[in-house]
Structure 1
Amino acid sequence: MALRLVQVNFKARDDEALGRFWAEALGWGVSSEGPGVTNVEPVGFDWPDPTAVCVDVVATPDPEKVRYRAHLDLATTSAAHQAELVARLKELGAKPADVGQGDVPWAVMADPEGNVFCVLEPREVYRDTGPIAAVVVHCADPRAMARFWGEAVDWTVHEVGDDYARLRSAKGVGPYLEFLRETPGAKTVWTRVHLDVLPCPGDDQAAEVARLRALGATPADVGQGDVPWIVLADPEGNEFCVLAPR
Structure 2
Amino acid sequence: MALRPVQVNVKAVDGAAVGRFWAEALGWSAYSPGVTTYVGPAGGLVWPDPVELGIDVVPVPEPRTATKNRLHLDLATTSVSHQAELVARLKTLGATPADVGQGDVPWTVLADPEGNEFCVLEPREVYRDTGPIAAVVVDCVDPRAMARFWGAAIDWTVHEVTDGQAVLRSREGTGPYLEFLRTLDVKTVPDRVHLDLLPYPGDDKAAEVARLRALGATDLDLGQGDVPWTCLSDPEGHEFCVLAPS
Bin of the TM-score, shorter chain as denominator length: over 0.9
- Secondary structure of the 2:22 match is helix
Q: Which runs of 5+ in 1 are unaligned?
A: none
Matches within 5 A, 1:100-139: 100-139=101-140
Question: Is 1:164 paired with 2:204?
Answer: no
Q: Which runs of 5+ in 2 are unaligned?
A: none
Aligned match of 2:148: 147
Aligned match of 1:43: 42
Letter in 2 for 1:49: D
Cα 1:97–1:66 shift into 2, 3 Å: closer
Residue 214 of structure 1 and its aligned partner are, at CA, apart by 0.4
Cα 1:240–1:63 shift into 2, 3 Å: farther
Rounded Cα–Cα distance in structure 2 between residues aligned with 1:64 and 1:18 = 13
Cα 1:137–1:103 shift into 2, 3 Å: same
Rounded Cα–Cα distance in structure 2 between residues aligned with 1:188 and 1:95 = 24
Rounded Cα–Cα distance in structure 2 between residues aligned with 1:66 and 1:195 = 21
Is the contact between residue 69 and residue 189 of structure 1 (CA under 8 Å) also seen in structure 2? Answer: no
Rounded Cα–Cα distance in structure 1 between residues aligned with 2:190 and 2:143 = 18
CA-atom RMSD, angstroms?
2.0
Rounded Cα–Cα distance in structure 2 between residues aligned with 1:29 and 1:146 = 32
- Secondary structure of the 2:102 match is coil
Letter in 1 for 2:134: A
Rounded Cα–Cα distance in structure 1 between residues aligned with 2:142 and 2:71 = 15
Length-normalised TM-score, structure 1: 0.95
Residue 222 of structure 1 and its aligned partner are, at CA, apart by 1.1
Rounded Cα–Cα distance in structure 1 between residues aligned with 2:99 and 2:189 = 10
Residue 190 of structure 1 and its aligned partner are, at CA, apart by 8.5
Rounded Cα–Cα distance in structure 1 between residues aligned with 2:149 and 2:130 = 23
Length-normalised TM-score, structure 2: 0.95
Equivalent residues, number: 244
Write out the 4+ residue segments of structure 1 that deviate beyond 6 Å after TM superposition. 187-191
